Every structure is written in structure tokens, then in C-alpha cells.
Amino acid sequence: MKRFEKEVFAESVVQYYLNTAHGDKITTVNHFMEQGASKSGVYKILRRFNDRGNIDYLSLSGRSISNKRRNVSLRVKKSLLKTGLSQRKIAARHQISRAMVQRIASKYNIRTNRCITCPKYTENQEKTAKKLYRKLYERKSNKILILDDESYIKIET
């Protein structure tokens, strides 16, 4: 669960605790365990509510994110939302690592394109491709054909 989902869940636990269970912890815990929540998680939410009087999480500790990184994050987000750009190209454009691009994409829940190598031809596939090109040429003899597989056919108009 992400932090936002945890906060929404904590709010629903406290609302049930106050309104439906009338301050009974055991009833609240049993109700949310039936829904699939962990026992210790519900108890932690209730303890936090009883200690502080609210369900808000404490602010995250540590140094805050720098403006430079925040700006890079926003620029990368814009690039990720454009179609047809791979993570490799975005990383090269913004001069950051591909791992950094991946972290930013997962932060904003954005899916990106991947570079996939084209499968190699075997000898048999190359021979059959040339035969098929010839059949195609014979069928469309009055048309102009341009084939981009380094197999060239003499074209007469």
C-alpha cells in the first residue's frame, strides 16, 4: 500500500472505531481482520489515534529534496508522458541514469517503452524470405515494389 492508501485506510478504521464500534478496539480489529487487514496494523492505527488525537502520519525525516532534483523530476515526468520515448533516450536527454528515470516513472505510476532487439534471421528464414519476395514480385508485376530487407529486385516501369 502506498502512503495515500494507508492514510485513507487509517481514516476508515478510526471512523468505524468511533461511530460503529463505540470505542471498542476488539470489535474494530475483528471487523478489519475479516476484510483482510493485519491485526497489528489496525492496533497501530488505533494507538496512534489514542495517543495524538488524530491519524496523521509524522512528516518524513531527513533532508528535503533539492530544487535541482525536483526540477529534473518534473522535466523527466513531462518526457515520460510523451509517447514513443524510451527510458534510455530520456536518460540521455536529461543526463541522468536509467535507474533514476525508472524511479521517477514508478513514483508517478507511468509505464514506458522498452528497447527490444529484433530477432536474427537464420539461413533458412533468409532463403524463404527471398522466395516469398519473388512470389510477391510475380503477383504484382505491374506495380512498383520497394523492399527494405537488403534484397533488391530489378524494377521495370
For the chain, the domains span: 3-52, 67-107, 119-157
Q: Please write the tens of the pLDDT for every residue from 34-73.
A: 999 999 999 999 999 999 888 887 777 888 878 888 899 9
Q: Please write the tens of the pLDDT for every residue from 7-34.
A: 899 999 999 999 999 889 999 999 999 9
pLDDT band at 148 (very low <50, low <70, confident <90, very high): low
Is a pLDDT exceeding 80 seen at residue 141? Answer: no
Longest pairwise C-alpha distance within the chain: 90
**Average pLDDT over every residue of 93-110:** 92
Over the range 120-131, which residues count as b (16 or more CB within 10 Å of their CB) and which as e? eeeeeeeeeeee
The residues near 93 (Cβ < 8 Å, ≥ 6 apart) are 79
Query: How many other CB atoms are found less than 10 A from the CB of residue 33?
Result: 13
> In 3D, which of 28, 115, 31, 110 has the Cα closest to residue 74?
110
Q: What is the pTM of this model?
A: 0.42
**Average pLDDT over every residue of 99-120:** 83
